[in-house]
Structure 1
């Protein structure tokens, strides 16, 4: 579910939705989501002063609060 949410948000923000990739790494207490986008779209996903990235992380935390696991979003370039 988390993967689909991040993928949907990222594809809505970027110019090249086909380049969006989300990799899930499951741990015992946390889940890491690695987000990759086209190099020219990285700024659109991060936003000015990281505001968009922070907003995506906030939405992700709200969506996963019932699971009890910590979810981390990493934006890779």
Structure 2
């Protein structure tokens, strides 16, 4: 299975001003592997982009990675208020 932490980090790191503040947490449900992305609150706009285009592109790349079962991957970009604020 793809290492999604590494994949997400490699995509996000060049976009942000504070790469040391990137935190990825995991949750697993019956249907999804959820990855919660936390960054510095000053970087959230860089990750979301205008009209959410950057965030959508990041999700498209992450969702296209191969998973070896029927669960799907979900990337949740947190607003930066909960971690590393």
TM-score (norm 1): 0.89
- Deviation for aligned residue 1:68: 3.2
1:75 aligns with 2:77: yes
Structure 2, unpaired ranges of 5+: 80-85
- How many residues in Structure 1 have an aligned counterpart in Structure 2? 77
Q: 1:46 matched to which residue of 2?
A: 48
- CA-to-aligned-CA distance 1:8-35 (integer Å, 9 cap, x gap): 1111110110001111112222111100
| Runs of 5+ unmatched residues, structure 1 | none
Distance 1:67 1:7 in 2: 23
- CA-based RMSD of the aligned residues comes to 1.3
Corresponding residue number in structure 1 for 2:26: 24
Greater percentage in helix: 1
Partner secondary structure for residue 54 of structure 2: helix
TM-score for both structures, normalised by structure 2: 0.82
Question: Which structure would you say has the larger Rg?
Answer: 2
CA contact (8 A) 1:35 1:76 kept: yes
Tell me the CA shift for residue 59 of structure 1: 0.4
